[in-house]
Amino acid sequence: MLFGEVLADMFTDRKVLGGAPFNVARHLKAFGLNPVLITRVGHDVLREELLDAMARFGMDTLGVQCDPTRPTGQVAVQIDANGHHFDIKPNQAYDFIHAGVARMVALSAQPELIYFGTLAQRNKVSRRSLNILLQSMKVPHMLDINLREPWFDMQTIKRSLLRADVVKTNHEELLVIARQLRLPGNSVQEQGASLIRQFSLEKLLVTCGAEGAWQLDADGTTVSVEGGKLKTGIVDTVGAGDGFAAIFITGVLKGWPVMLTLSRANDFAAALCGIRGAIPINEDFYAPFLEEWQI
């Protein structure tokens, strides 16, 4: 089960449905799982496009709420030599996810894991809904940290860490958190261990782009893998982290060994960097992975 935002990324020449929970859910479905996405969208054209896309992908729409007055989330995306810049609009439908409806959907779905992030907690309504959901479901909670200025604060980060069992972040975000929380340690790995101890986490998963990724467990076990090999040049890095998260969740739920899970997650994230957008246009993109991984 995934909780949070659905967004339309508005580029200068096109619009693309996205948002980390939606992207992760779409990949999970492609790899044979049955994700339920809890979100809220407006009564508008973007809602129809979302429902059409989810139907086309075979995704469950049970958790998609409709807000009669607020719009489906939008993000203005600008690309320059320094990368992507996101202008995330305020007061969107996903800021007002209804707690009671979300809880009923969760009780019906009986999830094995709950994935959530930080952006959808910027408003107290959705924040309360998430809290109720996490308290109701005694399953592993996976926090995917996405620090998007100005829509995060350390209070939200701390609260999220306290509710998480597994945390995924990237190298740069971990450095920001370590500095803000004044985590002790002479290396990023030592600071990661401090984070695990302070918030009683089970696992910390850190992605490092082309340099690969590493996972640190509460018992001090560290596993690291090199970056996935690009078969083509980098076209777009948007959504690569979401792809990594999806394969990590897939590996956890299917019982893959840790090293294999991280390696496959890296390879899939690298492949996403070779296409435009966070999710592929058609199913053919997934075929080589499905065949190689025998899913």
Please calculate the CA angle 151-157-161 and round it to the nearest 5 degrees.
Answer: 150
Whole-structure pTM value: 0.94
**Between 258 and 86, residue with greater pLDDT:** 258
- What are the extents of the domains in the chain? 2-292
Please tell me the predicted confidence (pLDDT) of residue 230.
67
Please tell me the predicted confidence (pLDDT) of residue 237.
77
**Predicted confidence (pLDDT) at residue 235 exceeds the cutoff of 90:** no
One-letter amino acid of 81:
A
Class of 2-292 per CATH?
A: alpha beta
Please tell me the predicted confidence (pLDDT) of residue 232.
67
Greatest C-alpha distance within the chain: 51
Paired tokens of 232: 């083509």
Residues 141-151, mean pLDDT to the nearest whole number: 87
> Rounded to 10 degrees, what is the CA torsion of 150, 156, 161, 162?
180
**Predicted confidence (pLDDT) at residue 271 exceeds the cutoff of 70:** yes
Question: What digits encode the pLDDT tens for the residues 74-116?
Answer: 988 777 766 667 788 899 999 999 999 999 999 999 999 999 9
The residues that bridge with 170 in the sheet, in sequence order, are 207
Tell which residue, 25, 35, 26, 18, has the closest CA to residue 72: 18
Start-to-end C-alpha separation, the chain: 20
